[in-house]
Amino acid sequence: MDNLIVRTTALAMSVTLSYIRKGDTVVDATCGSGHDTLTLAQAVGEEGQVLAFDIQEQAIEQTEARLRSRGISNVRLLLDSFVSMTSCLPENSASAVVFNLGYLPGGDHGITTLAEITLEGMDAALRTIRPGGVVTFVLYDGHENGAEEKRQLLTRAEELDSSRYHAAYVSMLNQKRHPPEILWITKKRG
Ligand SMILES: C[S@@+](CC[C@H](N)C(=O)[O-])C[C@H]1O[C@@H](n2cnc3c(N)ncnc32)[C@H](O)[C@@H]1O
């Protein structure tokens, strides 16, 4: 069993998976090299589907190769911004939307998620998840854009209507090397 407090990304995914059932529709907003996409595709099973976005061809290709090597075919890969998720899926349809922010590891560090666009992504994701679903953000504040992005996302999350949404935030308090942090938002059932 993973030591989940030490491994932030595993903690983020572990909680996310508790919201997902076989047959569900889920979104990987930033597929990168496809680790999360693969986990999500396995969680929803062949009867479910994953929509996976990235703005970089390199990321889409890496994800495609990872999925192909595992024989996974229930993923729609989209070379597009996550903001477009609302034109691909109806409102209240996904059980989870996952954002792993920042830049593609091993890729161009200049191509990164940006606060203003990620806020639009948050709005899109909150419309797309169904009641009882979850939006997960893995945040990196060790670089300049990331710190500003985190500040704006947390401010927006604090302002969300508490009768409709429940937001939770996890920070690793005594770690010196800026490990990622997690923001989860769930849409309450009517
Ligand atoms: C930290 S990586 C994601 C890692 C990935 N979850 C994995 O498991 O390998 C962040 C990714 O976000 C992508 N990205 C940046 N802005 C985006 C946007 N507006 N829409 C979709 N993807 C974006 C980057 O191209 C990069 O590949």
Q: Mean pLDDT for each consecutive 10-residue tract of the chain (190 residues)?
A: 89 98 98 98 98 98 98 97 98 98 92 96 98 97 90 98 98 91 94
163 alpha carbon to ligand 1 midpoint, in Å? 31
* pLDDT at residue 1 in the model: 65
Q: In angstroms, what CA-CA distances link 116 with 29, 83, 119, 120? A: 15, 11, 5, 7
- The confidence score (pLDDT) of residue 142 equals 86
CA distances from 125 to 45, 61, 67, 108 (A): 22, 24, 24, 26
The reported pTM is: 0.97
Identify the pLDDT of residue 178: 85
CA-to-CA separations, 117 to 17, 149, 153, 184, in angstroms, rounded: 25, 9, 11, 18
Backbone angles phi, psi at 136, to 5 degrees: -115, 130
CB–CB of 99/143 below 8 Å?
no
pLDDT for 114 = 95
Tokens describing residue 4: 């989940």
CB 103 within 8 A of CB 48: no
Identify the pLDDT of residue 51. 98
Centroid of ligand 1 to alpha carbon of 55 (angstroms): 7
Task: Indicate the top mutation candidate among 8, 38, 50, 54 to test ligand 1's pocket, ranked by most ligand atoms within 8 A of CB.
Answer: 54
